[in-house]
């Protein structure tokens, strides 16, 4: 099994989303991306065939020997750039390629959820956010977006439970942990969405 790392360039591209993201959550795609972390699951299961043309230690992978090979770092960068440009359909395609190679990557599942919601597919977004949290229960961005999507789907009770869980984490953190600011921002965003939903 081969693993990949998000390259510094991929993280830089995703971090650029903070400056001009058409979807509010697109700016957060880079926030949950691991720096230097490897992701297990590349080419494991799913009939993925490692390609002989791998270079530079990257994992190129394709579902069939005659199918194009994908570099997950390149596809992630393409997906992040598509999100930044508001091209949610292309982001779905690119993140889908990465997920084929790493189906349990919570960061890519989160990014796919942002693209789904950007296209108006609230159920698809909700599913992607839930899958992201299944593989990384501590991912704040996915928890925030899932609660906001719950509200859009008319599931205020679910959103309230997710908000309560984030508040519990924030209380344990006490403002001193490395995720304190992200937790506060997530709680504020969900409460704002709750107020908006109550007015409509």
Give the tens place of pLDDT for each residue, 79-90.
Answer: 999 999 999 999
Asked whether the predicted pLDDT for residue 32 surpasses 90, the reply is no
pLDDT band at 134 (very low <50, low <70, confident <90, very high): very high
Neighbouring residues of 142: CB distance < 8 A, sequence distance ≥ 6 = 32, 106, 109, 110, 113, 129, 132, 133, 136
Distance of CA 30 to the CA centre of its chain: 8
CATH 1.25.40.10 domain range(s) in the chain: 1-135
Q: By C-alpha distance, which of 147, 145, 140 is closest to 177?
A: 140
d(CA 152, CA 94): 26
Helix (H, G, I), strand (E, B) or coil at 49: strand
| Exposed e or buried b per residue across 163-181, where buried means at least 16 C-beta atoms within 10 angstroms of its C-beta | beebeebbeeeeeeeeeee
pLDDT at 137: 95
Instruction: Please report which confidence band the pLDDT of residue 177 belongs to, taking 50, 70 and 90 as the band edges.
Output: very high
- Indicate the pLDDT class of residue 18, thresholds 50, 70 and 90: very low
Average pLDDT over residues 166-192: 94
Distance of alpha carbon 185 from alpha carbon 189, whole angstroms: 6
Task: Work out the average pLDDT over 100-127.
Answer: 94
- Closest by Cα among 163, 171, 168 to 189: 163
CATH number corresponding to 1-135: 1.25.40.10
Average pLDDT over residues 52-69: 48
Q: Is the pLDDT of residue 75 over 50?
A: yes
Burial 21-40 (b: 16+ CB within 10 A, else e): bebebbbbbbbbbeeeeebe
Q: What is the rounded average pLDDT of the residues 132-151?
A: 96
Q: Is the pLDDT of residue 77 over 80?
A: yes
Which pLDDT score, from 0 to 100, does residue 200 have?
Answer: 81
8-state DSSP, 87:
-
Per-residue confidence (pLDDT) for residue 164, from 0 to 100: 96
């Amino acid at each position: 099994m081969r693993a990949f790392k998000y390259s510094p360039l991929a993280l830089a591209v995703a971090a650029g989303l903070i400056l001009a993201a058409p979807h509010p959550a697109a700016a957060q795609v880079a926030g949950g991306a691991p720096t230097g972390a490897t992701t297990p699951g590349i080419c494991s299961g799913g009939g993925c065939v490692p390609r002989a043309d791998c270079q530079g230690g990257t994992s190129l992978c394709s579902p069939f020997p005659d199918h194009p090979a994908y570099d997950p770092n390149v596809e992630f960068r393409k997906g992040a750039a598509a999100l930044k440009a508001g091209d949610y359909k292309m982001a779905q395609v690119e993140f889908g390629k990465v997920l084929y190679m790493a189906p349990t990557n919570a960061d890519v599942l989160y990014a796919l959820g942002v693209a789904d919601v950007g296209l108006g597919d609230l159920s698809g977004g909700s599913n992607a956010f839930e899958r992201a949290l299944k593989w990384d229960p501590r991912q704040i961005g996915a928890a925030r977006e899932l609660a906001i999507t719950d509200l859009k789907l008319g599931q205020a009770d679910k959103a309230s439970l997710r908000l309560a869980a984030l508040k519990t984490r924030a209380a344990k953190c006490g403002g001193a942990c490395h995720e304190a600011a992200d937790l506060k921002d997530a709680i504020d965003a969900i409460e704002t969405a709750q107020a908006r939903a109550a007015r409509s």
